Structure 1
Amino acid sequence: MRVRPRPQDGQEGETRRVGKLRKRIAEATRLRGLVRNPDLNAVEIERHRRRTLAGLWFFLALGLVFTSAGVQKFLAGKATFTDPLWWAAWTVEPMFAGLLIVLLNFEALILSHGIEPDHQWWSRLKRVLLVATLFMNVIPQLVPLFTDWDAFNPGSAFVHAIVPVIVYGLAEVIPVIQARARQAILQGYEQADQSEQVDQADHEAPSPQEGVPSPAEAALLQPRGLGPDQPPAPSPPQEPAPTQKSPTVAKRGPNLPPPMVKAVLGARSKAAAQGRELTVADVQAVINISGELAERIVADYTTNGHPVA
């Protein structure tokens, strides 16, 4: 007797069916990413377009053979195959159909770029070709109505009337299929490009403005009890200097972030261009800090009235 292995911890219910479903889910997960690939969509659209057009061209050729026989009978009349007219009559219907197909192929090209052939003779020429083919196919079938009623065949007359219309419809549809397939491919690539641009914009962080402190930097330099929008506190009154001369040690100012250093250096250069020294007001004009910190920065960037390099 064969004993089934006991499932380990965390594997309760792991049957063969569950394993198959897990494989199908993993396959579907990978297919979901591939289905959205614009290159794969373009290949699928192109493959279906070729199959569809191959079938339509085959049936269009059969219809042209049928209508060509009707047109040849109408034009040749009682001529025999030894007469050049009998042979020339076979070229009339292919010529009409070829002109129609060439016009519709160009129409498909401009339609794929969103341009309509709005010239009046564009539609007139297509209608003339259809009416001419229809007339030459139907008239020989209607002649027995006036000459020999017994020779009239309603079924043949109907087929000779409907086949030219079907051929004309196929010639109209084939260019539309080509235009729509190309439009679908270009639309898929355009959507993919837009998605890539959005993803790239999301990953790019905006660069901070030079000379303007960030909120975190401004909070570090702001004295306690004051918000970022409140004006800085006034500087305390200066104490009189002692009469006894003692060696003074310059107090170094706080370590500033690079954007603030650049702002202070710009203010110092501006003051030097005006022939004066850097002041507390100059520092507070470019950085929102208190007067005490501004004095320390001024002392750090000037010594005995001479700018520190």
Structure 2
Amino acid sequence: MTTRLPTPDPDPEDIGQGIAALEAHLAAHAPTEPPAPNGSDEFDGETRRVRRLRAQVAEARMLADLHDDDTPLLLDSRKVRRRRRAAHEAARLHALAQDPAMRAWQAARMRRVLVTAAMVSLTLALAWSTAGVQKFAADGAPAWSPSWLFAWLVEPFMSLALLVVVGAKAYMGTRGQPIHSPTLTRIEWLFLALTLAMNGWPYAPGIAAEFSLSRLVLHLLGPVVAVAVVTALPIILEAFAGLDHGTVTGASTGAPTAPTYRHNAPTGDPAGSPAVRADVGELTRRARDLIAAGALPVNPSATALRAALRCGTDTARQVRDELRNSTQ
């Protein structure tokens, strides 16, 4: 068994020494106050937090001033520049499309495309009917016999003859001198009628062992397409020959030239009196003389008449109408 010894009472002197040591320690480690911003010994309360808030306020004021400036909005963005370049290019292309030389080139290109498509369609339509004509011409001859082989030549030599007539009319139409010959028209219809009859006869009602409307229409398709092409092509080419693209003024300078039309030639006083329109009757007689001499085609266009007679566009159109009315 252990016995607890009595604790002696603290000495007041020791307690005083401990308190003095604690005060000295706290005084040595106490934080120092920040110096005043103005260099004086007095502290005005501007702490680090105050300085940070003052910097934020100054930054906000500068940003507000910059936001009121619209200079950045005046600059074109990349998208705006791209749209502006596209709009400028579209305007140049539109102006170029109105140039007489460009309009003439576009018309020539379109005419060439249409003529090529029409001739290809006509050739395919005639080739389509070759099998039907061969069956009609063979008349049941054995395969690879002389009659059966020669039957394959019936449609080709008729098609070649027809293509000669159509090609000649197409070419002359592109030269502004369409052929209006009843003889050539009768030749075309004769070949087309023969092709149509030979294709459809074996499948006609009462002739075919078993009539089928779809089979008859299928064999008549080639000749029908050929008739349509032969009829439409000269009309289209004559319309192209009558186009008036305007007058090309000056040499090419790189800038698009708008279509310009020369005024009708004046016949009055050149010093400034009112211009008098050229005599259409006299110009018509001159045009007939040029046609008789071979300098102009039989049916000249307004463009050809304007160049040959050196008159305005309106006058050339009146002369063209007078010539056409006199030939009808």
Q: Please report the TM-score for the alignment, with normalisation by the length of structure 2.
A: 0.48
Amino acid of the residue matched to residue 172 of structure 1?
Answer: T
The CA deviation at 1:192 is 3.3
Whether contact under 8 Å (2:107, 2:240) holds in the other structure is yes
- Structure 2 matches for 1:215-294, cutoff 5 A? none
Choose which of 161, 167, 191 in structure 1 pairs with 2:220.
Answer: 161
Secondary structure at 2:140's aligned position in 1? coil
Choose which of 185, 195, 199 in structure 1 pairs with 2:260.
Answer: 195
Partner Cα separation in structure 2 for residue 113 and residue 53 of structure 1: 13
Partner Cα separation in structure 2 for residue 118 and residue 51 of structure 1: 23
Correspondence for 1:131? 193
Partner Cα separation in structure 2 for residue 91 and residue 5 of structure 1: 89
Secondary structure at 1:47's aligned position in 2? helix
Q: Give a deviation string over 1:124-154, Cα, whole Å, max 9, x none.
A: 22221111111101111127x3563xx2222
Correspondence for 2:170? 108
Q: Give a deviation string over 1:230-253, Cα, whole Å, max 9, x none.
A: xxxxxxxxxxxxxxxxxxxxxxxx
Whether contact under 8 Å (1:112, 1:183) holds in the other structure is no
Partner Cα separation in structure 1 for residue 232 and residue 67 of structure 2: 63
The CA deviation at 1:118 is 4.3
Secondary structure at 1:61's aligned position in 2? helix
Choose which of 230, 235, 240 in structure 2 pairs with 1:171.
Answer: 230
- Structure 2 matches for 1:62-73, cutoff 5 A? 62-73=124-135
Matched, 1:93 2:149: no
The CA deviation at 1:77 is 1.3
Secondary structure at 1:173's aligned position in 2? helix
Whether contact under 8 Å (1:71, 1:93) holds in the other structure is yes
Inter-CA distance 197–119: structure 2 relative to 1 (3 Å threshold): closer
Q: Please report the TM-score for the alignment, with normalisation by the length of structure 1.
A: 0.51
Q: Give a deviation string over 1:98-126, Cα, whole Å, max 9, x none.
A: 22222223223444566564443232222
Correspondence for 1:41? 103
Correspondence for 1:24? 86
Q: Give a deviation string over 1:192-220, Cα, whole Å, max 9, x none.
A: 3693755xx9xxxx789xxxxxxxxxxxx
Aligned residues: 196
- Structure 2 matches for 1:8-23, cutoff 5 A? 8=71, 12=74, 14=76, 18-23=80-85
The CA deviation at 1:21 is 4.2
Whether contact under 8 Å (2:173, 2:237) holds in the other structure is no
Whether contact under 8 Å (2:203, 2:216) holds in the other structure is yes
* Structure 2 unmatched runs, 5+: 1-65, 250-258, 273-328
Partner Cα separation in structure 2 for residue 195 and residue 134 of structure 1: 50
The CA deviation at 1:49 is 3.5
Q: Percent identical across equivalent pairs?
A: 25
Which structure would you say has the larger Rg? 2
Whether contact under 8 Å (1:141, 1:156) holds in the other structure is yes
Q: Give a deviation string over 1:52-109, Cα, whole Å, max 9, x none.
A: 4444444333322221111111011122343333222222222222222222232234
Partner Cα separation in structure 1 for residue 118 and residue 171 of structure 2: 18
Partner Cα separation in structure 2 for residue 26 and residue 152 of structure 1: 65
Partner Cα separation in structure 1 for residue 176 and residue 116 of structure 2: 25
The CA deviation at 1:165 is 1.2
Partner Cα separation in structure 1 for residue 159 and residue 182 of structure 2: 20
Whether contact under 8 Å (1:109, 1:179) holds in the other structure is no
Matched, 1:75 2:129: no
Amino acid of the residue matched to residue 100 of structure 1?
Answer: L
* Structure 1 unmatched runs, 5+: 209-309
Inter-CA distance 141–132: structure 2 relative to 1 (3 Å threshold): same
